[in-house]
Structure 1
Amino acid sequence: MRSCRPTTGVAPSPNGSRPAAPFVGGQGTMHRAIKIILIAIALSALATSLAAETGGLRYTITVSKFENRAGWHGRWDLGDAWGLVMTDMLQQTGKFIVLGETDMRYEAMAEQDLAASGRTAQGRKTPATGQMTPAQLLVKGAITHVQDSTAGGGGGVRIKGFRVGGKKGKAEVNATVQIVDSTTGQVVASTSVVATSQSRAARIGYSGRNFGGDVGGFKNDNVGKAIEDAVAQAVEWLVEQLPGIPWTGTVALVKNGKVYVNRGSREGVPVGQVFVVGTADVIRDPDTGEILDESINEIARVRADEVREKLSICSVISGDASKVQRGMAVHLP
């Protein structure tokens, strides 16, 4: 009986099977794949360079809610989505100890205050005040412009009733990002980013986790996709600034010839890390009290022999061990 299936114009192979149909749009897909690979290679080189300059040490950081100065309003909050994605991306870099967003920290403090009032059951798990990790760096800024264009369409290839490819809507997001030193309140660095919904946050290999709650819908929105790419640019820029931001610690204890430094595996300290210990000279503006400069008078150098989560136990490898005291500043060599 003759087959009723239409022929495709492709001759069968000697064993009777037909060769696979050519992949439609393969050249464009290959170009995109090559581009992603090149970006990944460049980022890998950047990460290696930064690790060499900062020693792979991590900084505590928190994200403040970004202001919506663009006047854009949709089904989800622009500032909440930015903070959620940025907190997640910062965590994924491995370069930061990411603390809760500002509103989450306020909620934690409110819970501590409630426990301290005596109106809750008391025990070992009761939230205590004075235990919150302080942030060395604050990230703040504003979303200054949003343009959402979902017009257009057509093109592409129809496969089993579904259209693949073709024109899509496009959104653009502009934002200003600032790094603030939490000690001085000064803006350490700032930049502006411009992103579109078509970039898909490829710069840092963002995993694109699923988000729930009130902002979960932003991932299916062109503006949301542009937010992801804008945040990816901002996080990449943040990591690039780290070599210029001092990484510091403090001597927490001196006992039995060992120096205990208040930085550990949480901050990325490896066994064998060398630190400079000394007294800090701080020059302040006599009119405003602002810190103008800070330097360290080296007393000794110590090496981390044992690293725990929040501290490093070090031995003195050079300098005068008898002069090392609790409260002295710890810097990188």
Structure 2
Amino acid sequence: MTDLTLNRRLVLSGASLAAVGLAAPATARPRLQDRPRYDGLKKTIAVDTFRATEAVGGSVTADGMTAMLTQALVEDGRFLVVEGGDGGPMAASAIVRGAVTKYEAAAGGSGLNISGGPLGGLLGGRASTRSQTAVIEIALRLIDVSTGQVISTSSAEGRASARTSEAGLVENYGGGRLGGEIFRTTPIGQAGQDAIVRAVDQIASGMRRVAWSAMVVDAAQNGVYLNAGADRNVQPGLTLSVWRPGRTLTDPGTGEVLDVEMSRIGRVRVETVRDRLSIASVIEGEPPMRGDVLKAD
């Protein structure tokens, strides 16, 4: 093994730290509040990548917060989380756009550093244990995909204190680091999770203003196929109004969608439910066409 290999910095796990006498205590992770199983119709929602400047952690924070919010909305059970905000048969009804507005990775704390000895004397290494309190604040906008209008805005702050331990070898050639803890397990990541727990209920409140909708995938003699099934808690017997999109009205100055004219053409009743689609029959009005919009009565 070369000196360069020996001198690269390694981040050790809690188990490895125990071997050198610096076991890392387990840290409690924030969790979403336990809720009864949701059996209502699930609305579709998408999460855009968070905005986070270098001052608030950059792409690491942005990607970590995006992943955690997406997972939180999936686990919440009130929504069907889809990729992307528009286009395709599984377009989202609303999209969440977030930004990190406050970031204090170590708002307070204390620590103990050890150098030399078996780690430091031979390999230029060091070991440390420290207590940190982290603070993060996020701002969220919930946007109606069909109109581009902001439905609601909200913000949430999260805090977390954690005791972390670290032992490693210093890379003498440039002082860089290899590896690192996963964002979620760091104090700032745990603070982000705490903020997200608070944000989910705010998002759910805003989503009450978004109508549940689905789309007609195909219409044939044996029924009308909808792009919503058991994955969205659709049940046989559900009746839906059928709406046909008309003119899209846009602002000539900005190109912003102001409204989409919709005409009600009839009603259908769901007869058969599959995992990701349903088959309905026409009970009123004219037969639907692919692309028609369905709304709960």
Query: Which one of 268, 273, 292 corresponds to residue 302 of structure 1?
Result: 268
In the TM superposition, residue 251 of structure 1 has moved relative to its aligned partner by 2.6
Question: Aligned runs of 1:274-289 on 2, under 5 Å?
Answer: 274-280=239-245, 284-285=249-250, 287-288=252-253
Residue-by-residue CA offset, 1:24-83 (whole Å, 9 max, x unaligned) = xxxxxxxxxxxx9xx64xx54xx76xx6xxx3223142x232122471449x92112111
In the TM superposition, residue 281 of structure 1 has moved relative to its aligned partner by 5.4
Q: 1:106 aligns to what?
A: none
In the TM superposition, residue 226 of structure 1 has moved relative to its aligned partner by 0.5
Question: Aligned runs of 1:1-333 on 2, under 5 Å?
Answer: 40=34, 43-44=35-36, 55-61=40-46, 63-69=47-53, 71-73=55-57, 77-100=60-83, 133-147=90-104, 148-151=106-109, 169-197=132-160, 216-256=181-221, 258-280=223-245, 284-285=249-250, 287-288=252-253, 290-294=256-260, 296-317=262-283, 319-320=284-285, 323-327=286-290, 328-333=292-297
Letter in 2 for 1:245: V
Task: Name the CA shift for 1:171/1:292 in 2 (closer, same or farther; >3 Å).
Answer: same
Unpaired runs of 5+ in structure 1? 1-35, 103-129, 154-166, 200-213
Task: Name the CA shift for 1:101/1:171 in 2 (closer, same or farther; >3 Å).
Answer: farther
Normalising to structure 1: TM-score of the pair? 0.57
Task: Name the CA shift for 1:309/1:239 in 2 (closer, same or farther; >3 Å).
Answer: same
Normalising to structure 2: TM-score of the pair? 0.64
Report SS of the residue matched to 1:77.
Answer: helix
Report SS of the residue matched to 1:67.
Answer: coil
Distance 1:131 1:299 in 2: 23
Count how many residue pairs are aligned between Structure 1 and Structure 2. 231
In the TM superposition, residue 219 of structure 1 has moved relative to its aligned partner by 3.7
Please identify which structure carries the higher strand content.
2
In the TM superposition, residue 87 of structure 1 has moved relative to its aligned partner by 1.7
Question: Percent of pairs identical after alignment?
Answer: 25
Letter in 1 for 2:51: E
Task: Name the CA shift for 1:86/1:171 in 2 (closer, same or farther; >3 Å).
Answer: same
Letter in 2 for 1:151: G
Given that 1:282 and 1:291 are in contact with CA atoms closer than 8 Å, whether structure 2 keeps it comes out as no
Please identify which structure carries the higher helix content.
1
Letter in 2 for 1:57: K
Report which structure shows greater RCO (CA 8 Å, sep ≥6).
Answer: 2
Letter in 2 for 1:309: D
Distance 1:283 1:101 in 2: 21
Given that 1:144 and 1:175 are in contact with CA atoms closer than 8 Å, whether structure 2 keeps it comes out as yes
Given that 1:80 and 1:215 are in contact with CA atoms closer than 8 Å, whether structure 2 keeps it comes out as no
Cα RMSD (Å): 3.7
Distance 1:134 1:312 in 2: 17
